């Protein structure tokens, strides 16, 4: 007899990339949400929703030595999840309606839901296995609460303004000394940097909007684009600092090595200080990324 769930999940070696989610939440009384992600075999995410809607999230380790995730997927196969069809009827007031969602490695999904008062042994067997994971939150430290939207966007705006100010500051320091030699070239460099950074920031916003258009668990790349975009902005700022150094070296070379002017010495010092600052900013960005990830990534 054909098993439709096996066909849906394809070859067993892809099962580790499958995901399973239980949503058992009643708006008035709260409930629980359990998500076994496709990107990990060692952890699950549990949300305890209290009456009134307050959510507490946990990261629960799976028994990966016992292949717990594979056992959950196998349970779906054993009960042929895709053929589960609970009885449909009108809901009773305040009755819960738990749902299970199975997704394969191709991001194809199948959802089954039923009213709490409807009996379905196959559905309940899978549901109970997920509830057993939810019961393991005792003693587990909750995941920090999400930041409010205004905090996230203010962080993005302040970071963008800070990054844009770096080449402007470099331009302000360099222009008095470079203007006499080749101001157009340096201004062109600054304009190109600003255009590139503006396009990059616009792309980041577009990607963020595109990711937010997906369901919560499918936002698998928001944090990646954010990290890459911010680091590219900082890199472009570093390029601006290197432009200052190249200009400083050029000014230095056109003078007599034994008698550089005071302005040329200071400009060279400022140029190299700009490079060191850019390198330090890139290093600090690596430390700042986890915080930024927590601010922007809404995958969990």
Q: Where is pLDDT greater, at 39 or 161?
A: 39
Please tell me the predicted confidence (pLDDT) of residue 127: 95
| Fold that domain 4-137 belongs to in CATH | Mago nashi protein (3.30.1560)
Nearest to 212 by CA among 285, 149, 150: 149
| Confidence class for position 171, pLDDT limits 50, 70, 90 | low
The whole-model pTM stands at 0.56
What is the model's pLDDT at position 299?
Answer: 42
pLDDT above 70 coverage of the chain, percent = 48
Mind listing the pLDDT tens digit for each residue in 139-169? 888 887 666 667 667 766 766 666 666 555 5
Higher pLDDT, 296 or 261: 261
| CB environment 178-189: b (16+ within 10 A), e (fewer) | beeeeeeebeeb
Instruction: Check pLDDT > 60 for residue 77.
Output: yes
pLDDT score of 187: 52
Domain ranges of the chain: 4-137, 149-296
H-helix or E-strand spanning residue 47 = strand 43-49
- Could you tell me where the DSSP H helices lie in the chain? 4-9, 68-78, 121-134, 149-178, 183-212, 222-254, 262-296
183: pLDDT confidence band, cut at 50, 70 and 90?
very low
Residue with tokens 């939150």: 137
């Amino acid at each position: 007899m054909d098993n439709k769930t096996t066909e849906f999940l394809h070859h067993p070696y892809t099962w580790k990339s499958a995901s399973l989610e239980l949503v058992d939440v009643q708006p008035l009384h709260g409930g629980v949400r359990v998500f076994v992600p496709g990107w990990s075999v060692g952890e699950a995410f549990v949300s305890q929703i209290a009456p009134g809607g307050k959510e507490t999230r946990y990261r629960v380790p799976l028994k990966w030595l016992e292949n717990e995730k594979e056992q959950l997927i196998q349970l779906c196969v054993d009960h042929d999840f895709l053929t589960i069809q609970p009885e449909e009827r009108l809901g009773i007031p305040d009755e819960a309606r738990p749902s299970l969602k199975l997704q394969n490695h191709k991001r194809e999904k199948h959802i089954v839901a039923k009213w709490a008062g409807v009996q379905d042994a196959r559905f309940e067997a899978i549901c109970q296995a997920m509830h057993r994971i939810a019961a393991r939150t005792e003693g587990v430290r909750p995941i920090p609460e999400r930041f409010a939207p205004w905090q996230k966007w203010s962080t993005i705006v302040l970071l963008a303004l800070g990054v844009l100010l770096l080449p402007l500051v470099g331009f302000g320091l360099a222009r008095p000394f470079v203007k006499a030699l080749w101001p157009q070239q340096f201004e062109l460099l600054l304009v190109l940097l600003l255009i590139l950074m503006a396009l990059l920031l616009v792309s980041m916003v577009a990607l963020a909007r595109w990711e937010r258009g997906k369901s919560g668990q499918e936002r698998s790349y928001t944090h990646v684009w954010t990290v890459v975009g911010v680091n590219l902005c900082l890199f472009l700022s570093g390029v601006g600092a290197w432009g200052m150094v190249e200009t400083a070296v050029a000014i230095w070379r056109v003078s007599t090595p034994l008698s550089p002017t005071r302005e040329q010495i200071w400009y060279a010092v400022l140029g190299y200080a700009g490079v060191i600052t850019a390198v330090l900013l890139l290093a600090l960005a690596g430390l700042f990324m986890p915080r930024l990830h927590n601010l922007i990534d809404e995958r969990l």
